[in-house]
Amino acid sequence: MIDNIIEDYKKYRKKILKKGYEVVGIPLTISFFVLLFSTIISFFLILELSNWFLLLEIILVIILLKINKKVDNSLKISWLNYKEKLKDYIAYYLKERGFILSDQFRELSIILKEKSEKKYKKYDLNPYLAMVVAIIIFALSLLTNDSLKPLIATISLSSIFFIISINPIVNIYTSIFINKDSEIIYELASIVDELYFEVSIKEAKAEL
């Protein structure tokens, strides 16, 4: 029964939710990815051509962060609208299947959260990456040639930047491709929690 509830929720969710690029708009989506690509390219230009591209990199990162904030705000506003629809659907769906007592909602929420936790996978690479960064910096510090110091500094910064980026990239990948089911189940559990509190309040008022 629980699996049927989850599968039906997924189907309805997929039916009503728009894709991210549809919510924020094609122009803003294209701008985001163009800026992201330009930021990566300018980073390599710092290494290959001139440190003057560092200024361009900083400007691009600032613009990218501002656009990312706009994208996040658009997605949050959109989600609030969708959440009400999903909540109404689940309330009606569960009522049709005999969920009328607060204890039933609470038990369902607990089971859903347990299922979500079992499916969730997280990779924390930060301790290992910190060790790698420390080793790189220490190894480069042993080089005493003054003419190589600018190159050493550039390599150190680029290595740190690259290594620090790995963990978020891995977590984004797991979120999109591995933990999607876990997140949807937890989302459903959160909606059931809200319904549980609402039903609990109604039951408490009825007892007065």
Give the C-alpha distances (Å, rounded to integers) separating 53 from 43, 118, 154: 7, 46, 12
Integer angstrom CA distances of residue 60 from 38, 40, 41, 42, 66: 8, 10, 11, 9, 10
Going from the C-alpha of 162 to that of each of 40, 101, 171, 175, 206, the distances in angstroms are 11, 52, 15, 20, 60
Predicted local distance difference test score (pLDDT) of residue 186: 93
Of all residues in the chain, the percent with pLDDT exceeding 70 is 56
Distance CA(188)–CA(158), nearest Å, equals 41
At residue 74, the pLDDT reads 66
SS3 at position 74: helix
**What integer pLDDT is reported at residue 17 of this predicted model?**
77
pLDDT along the chain (208 residues), means of 10: 89 78 64 73 65 69 73 68 88 92 94 91 65 67 62 62 60 65 91 94 83
Reference 5, options 198, 195, 147; nearest CA is 195
Q: Is residue 182 within 8 Å of residue 77, measured between CB atoms? A: no
Alpha helices, H only, the chain: 2-16, 20-24, 26-48, 53-96, 102-119, 126-141, 149-173, 180-207
Query: Which tens digits make up the pLDDT trace of 10-63?
Result: 998 888 876 655 556 677 667 777 777 777 777 666 666 666 667 776 777 777
DSSP per-residue codes, 28-60: HHHHHHHHHHHHHHHHHHHHHT-TTHHHHHHHH
On the CB side of 32, CA atoms within 13 Å amount to 16
3-state SS, residue 92:
helix
Tell me the two tokens of residue 57. 């990199």
